[in-house]
């Protein structure tokens, strides 16, 4: 009975350690962006920018900056 009391704190700490490591979210990949080569004009609608970026091989795109340029995005 005495030996089980000695091991209880160690087992509790181990259990908490296992549970806490399972709850940590996976690391997210960084998102890199570069100006679109094919988008012409001022970027007003993000959907248009995103579609052009998809044709260029990127995962998406958004209008960005004061000059409203189409910036294509992908995971680094």
- Segment 13-22 shows an average pLDDT of 52
pLDDT at 28: 74
Name the token pair of 54: 């998809």
Residues contacting residue 49 through CB under 8 Å, at least 6 positions apart: 36, 39, 43, 61, 62, 63, 70, 71, 72
What ranges in the chain are assigned the alpha helix state H? 2-23, 46-55
What is the average pLDDT value for the chain, to the nearest integer?
A: 81
CATH code at position 28: 3.30.30.10
Name the domain count of the chain: 1
Name the token pair of 37: 């080569």
Q: Could you read off the pLDDT of 29-55 as tens digits, one per residue?
A: 789 999 999 999 999 999 999 999 999
Q: Which domain holds residue 13?
A: 2-75
pTM value is 0.61
């Amino acid at each position: 009975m005495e030996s089980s009391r000695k091991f209880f704190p160690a087992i509790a700490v181990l259990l908490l350690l296992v549970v806490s490591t399972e709850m940590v979210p996976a690391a997210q990949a960084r998102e890199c962006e570069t100006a679109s080569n094919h988008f012409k004009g001022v970027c007003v609608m993000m959907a248009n920018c995103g579609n052009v970026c998809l044709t260029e091989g990127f995962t998406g795109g958004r209008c960005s900056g004061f000059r409203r340029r189409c910036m294509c995005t992908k995971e680094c």
